[in-house]
């Protein structure tokens, strides 16, 4: 042991990375909890104010409404993205030449920044000069109608993030052993049966990973909404992370805004753990079936 010890790297090789990460990523995570118990306007130092922020949050209807809006937004985004990404991913996993060419087009939205995507869709959906002028959709205020705006934002978010999840599913679908499909074909199972009884169970861990990334991501992302609608019209698209950003950086109530940030992280982590627990239970029972 001592003979080879000096050939092994010492802990010093890893410490710069750990230190850097601790300072600029882990410390902020701790600080945000501290800040939620302070009052801070962005200048000077934060001043502790006990539970004031938290008790204020409980009676803040705008903040609570933004939380509900976020829950709806996240649920819709998950429900829209998962089936599309799953189906296209499985389809794109095929080795056929036309699929390879088409899927290289499918992934193009991945190359665009959030800002580029939001600005592009804003131009596209412009009620006067956008794409709605050309087709049967004329006259619909996709971003200006409070009853529609949230769904439009979900659509844009779906457009933005489906390619990433498609990639996850494509990679996972390619690792499913072909022999499983071969024996199912011999047994006379059709395409739909094969998808339901082989593809889906084999992809369960990918579904979990993808869903967790999606839920935690959607709970906290606000950049697309900020550019697309700024939270409007009215407060129709003011989801909680955007409410946090506006409260902190426009209203300069950074202590109070931290309270919302903490809540979002708690919800995100809680949901991830819940998904993992449920899925572990499920996967045990399906493994007994021999899949």
Partner 1 sequence: MSTQHVTTTPVAAPGPGGPRPPVSAPRRRRPLRARLRRRPNLLAGVLATIWLILVAGPLYYMISSSLRSRSDYLSGNPLAPPSSPTLENYWTVLEGGFTRYLFNNVVVTVATVLIVVGLAVPAAYAIARSTSRLVQRGFTLLLAGLAIPAQATIIPVYLLITRMNLYDSLTAIILPTAAFALPVGTLVLTNSLRDVPRELYEAQAIDGAGAFRVLRHLVLPLARPAIVTVVIFTSLTAWNGFLFPLVLTQSESTRVLTLGLWNFQGQFGTNVPALLAAVTLSVLPIFVVYLIGRRFLLSGLTAGFGK
Which residues within the stretch 134-163 sit at the binding site for partner 1 (CB under 8 A)? 134-135, 159, 162-163
Given the rule CB under 8 A, which of 12-20, 54-62, 63-71, 143-151 is the region that contacts partner 1? 12-20
> Residue 211: which of 223, 203, 202, 199 has the closest Cα?
203
Q: Give yes or no for residue 221 binding partner 1 (CB under 8 A).
A: yes
The smaller minimum CB distance to partner 1, of residues 2 and 288, is found at 2
Q: Alpha-carbon distance 247 to 51, whole Å?
A: 18
Among 58, 147, 186, 284, binds partner 1 (CB under 8 A): 186
Least CB distance to partner 1 at residue 120 (A): 5
Given the rule CB under 8 A, which of 58-66, 71-79, 104-112, 278-286 is the region that contacts partner 1? 104-112
Among 65, 71, 119, 140, binds partner 1 (CB under 8 A): 119
- For 175, the token pair is 């690792």
Least CB distance to partner 1 at residue 117 (A): 9
Q: Give yes or no for residue 27 binding partner 1 (CB under 8 A).
A: yes
Distance, C-alpha 56 to centroid of its chain: 28
255 within 8 A of 35, measured Cβ to Cβ: yes
Among 54, 78, 151, 164, binds partner 1 (CB under 8 A): 164
Least CB distance to partner 1 at residue 112 (A): 6
Per-residue 3-state assignment (H helix, E strand, C coil) for 50-90: CCHHHHHHHCCHHHHHHHHHHHHHHHHHHHHHHHHHHHHHH
Given the rule CB under 8 A, which of 24-32, 62-70, 140-148, 196-204 is the region that contacts partner 1? 24-32
| 263 C-beta neighbours (distance < 10 Å), count | 19
Q: Alpha-carbon distance 39 to 45, whole Å?
A: 9
Q: Alpha-carbon distance 25 to 232, whole Å?
A: 31
Q: Give yes or no for residue 216 binding partner 1 (CB under 8 A).
A: yes
């Amino acid at each position: 042991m001592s003979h080879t010890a000096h050939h092994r790297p010492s802990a010093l090789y890893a410490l710069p990375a750990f230190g850097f990460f601790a300072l600029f990523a882990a410390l902020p995570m701790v600080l945000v909890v501290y800040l939620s118990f302070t009052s801070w306007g962005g200048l000077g130092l934060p001043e502790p104010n006990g539970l004031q922020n938290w008790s204020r949050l409980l009676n803040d209807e705008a903040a609570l409404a933004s939380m509900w809006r976020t829950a709806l937004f996240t649920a819709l985004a998950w429900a829209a993205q998962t089936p599309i990404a799953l189906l296209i991913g499985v389809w794109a996993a095929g080795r056929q030449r036309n699929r390879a060419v088409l899927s290289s087009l499918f992934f193009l939205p991945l190359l665009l920044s959030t800002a580029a995507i939001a600005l592009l869709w804003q131009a596209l959906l412009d009620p006067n000069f956008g794409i709605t002028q050309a087709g049967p959709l004329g006259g619909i205020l996709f971003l200006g109608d409070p009853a529609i705006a949230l769904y439009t934002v979900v659509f844009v978010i779906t457009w933005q993030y489906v390619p990433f999840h498609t990639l996850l599913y494509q990679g996972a679908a390619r690792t499913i052993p072909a022999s499983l499909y071969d024996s199912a074909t011999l047994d006379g199972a059709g395409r739909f049966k094969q998808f339901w009884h082989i593809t889906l169970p084999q992809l369960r861990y990918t579904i979990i990973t993808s869903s967790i990334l999606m839920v935690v991501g959607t709970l906290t992302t606000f950049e697309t909404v900020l550019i697309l609608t700024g939270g409007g019209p009215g407060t129709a698209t003011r989801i909680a992370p955007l409410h946090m950003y506006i409260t902190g950086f426009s209203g300069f109530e950074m202590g109070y805004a931290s309270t919302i940030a903490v809540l979002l992280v708690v919800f995100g982590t809680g949901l991830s753990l819940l998904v993992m627990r449920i899925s572990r239970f499920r996967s045990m029972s399906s493994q007994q079936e021999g899949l």
